[in-house]
Amino acid sequence: MIWILVIGLVAGFVARLVAPGPNKPSGFILTAVLGIAGAFLATFIGQTLGWYRPDQGAGFITATIGAVVVLFIWNRLVVRHVIPDPGSKSTL
């Protein structure tokens, strides 16, 4: 579990650098959450498909891919106004 958190944190930083788009979650906390969510997603999918044993977590590359997928979903939700863009300065 700790390994997923550490790898997820680094994967979040890499995903923000790799994935284009103006609606990126910014800040240390959101970047960490992005990477950790990607690592958990990659671990879940990998264990479901039999790539990892139940006691294994995703590696750095698959965690980064998972974080890019989470970032893509985040961007789509912001574009469709399902969730607010934390970077916008507009007030409702």
Q: Would the pLDDT of 66 be above 60?
A: yes
pLDDT band at 3 (very low <50, low <70, confident <90, very high): confident
pLDDT at 85: 67
pLDDT tens-digit series, residues 67-78: 888 888 888 887
Q: What's the pTM value of the predicted model, to 2 decimals? A: 0.72
What does pLDDT average to over the chain? 77
Under a CB-based contact definition with an 8 Å cutoff, are residues 60 and 9 in contact? no
Q: Which helix (H) or strand (E) holds 28?
A: helix 28-49
35: pLDDT strictly greater than 70? yes
